[in-house]
Amino acid sequence: MQGVYRLSFIDDISWWVEGNNDEVAAAKLSEAAIAMIEWIGRNGITFDQGKIEVALFYKKRIAHKITVVVGENKIPFNKEITR
């Protein structure tokens, strides 16, 4: 998927995107999640959606209330690791 980068190691996967704001980034990650869910469904793979975390790295110190949608779950940005 264009504009979405990933790094994986055994059972850990990281994705990152660039966007002009958190809404754009969240939308790109949600779109990537749809593609991932379709791919794992075709390949008989499962993952624990309860372990999903979303981090946001940004320049301005503002509160972010945007979430990333993964399947039927809305994943908020993890405030402890968001910088």
Nearest to 72 by CA among 41, 45, 40, 33: 33
Q: How far apart are CA 83 and CA 72, in angstroms?
A: 26
Residue 26: phi and psi, rounded to 5, are: -65, -40
pLDDT in tens, 38-80: 888 888 887 777 777 777 777 666 656 778 888 788 877 766 6
pLDDT in tens, 7-22: 666 677 778 888 787 7
Q: How far apart are CA 83 and CA 81, in angstroms?
A: 6
User: Model-level pTM greater than 0.85?
Assistant: no
